[in-house]
Amino acid sequence: MSQNQDDHPTIDPALFRQVLGHFPTGVTVVTAAGADGPVGVAIGSFASISLDPPLVGFFLGTGSGSWAPMHEAGHFCVNVLCADQQELCGVMASKAEDKFDGVSWEAAADTGAPILPGVHAAIDCAIAQVVELGDHNLIVGRVLSLEPRRDAPPMVFYKGQYGSFGG
């Protein structure tokens, strides 16, 4: 292993992505009611942080076009995807200018953030803290409301592919 000038190991980004891909993650779409309309982004780095107070979080690349309107809105809604929502996931993972073109949604009661149809669960949050970490931000949200919405197998991302967990 080589070292860089800051005395940190130099890790090949492709190897990093490959090895971390061995850890299966759930798949979510994080949405917000931006000033110019709804925004959304597919996220696989969502986590529960605290029960008291109720906090959740996710990581978002600093170059994401969804971050500025989400940050300005001051809120987000985590839509937990079901295994049969790969097409919706693909739209929200894209760099399309209007990811909501042709996508129906309902406004979350507390923030107005989009809740997508057919999701496993929805978690509506106010942004509580943003921590800059390398090329990503950790966005921590205070849970305002949450609800299960559909009992179906969840979408899982593993080794670069989408699948499900039949449990």
- The C-alpha atoms of residue 78 and residue 32 are separated, in whole angstroms, by 9
Q: What CATH class is the domain 27-149?
A: mainly beta
Per-residue tens of pLDDT for the chain, all 167 residues: 444 456 678 988 888 888 877 778 889 999 999 999 999 999 999 999 999 999 999 999 999 999 999 999 999 999 999 999 999 999 999 988 899 999 999 999 999 999 999 999 999 999 999 999 999 999 999 999 999 999 999 998 878 878 787 65
The residues that bridge with 32 in the sheet, in sequence order, are 39
Q: Break the chain into its structural domains and give their ranges.
A: 27-149
> pTM score > 0.95 for this model?
no
Whole-angstrom CA distances from 160 to 126, 157, 163 are: 31, 7, 10
- Tokens standing for residue 88: 């919706």
Strand stretches in 121-164, DSSP E:
121-133, 136-148, 155-158, 161-164
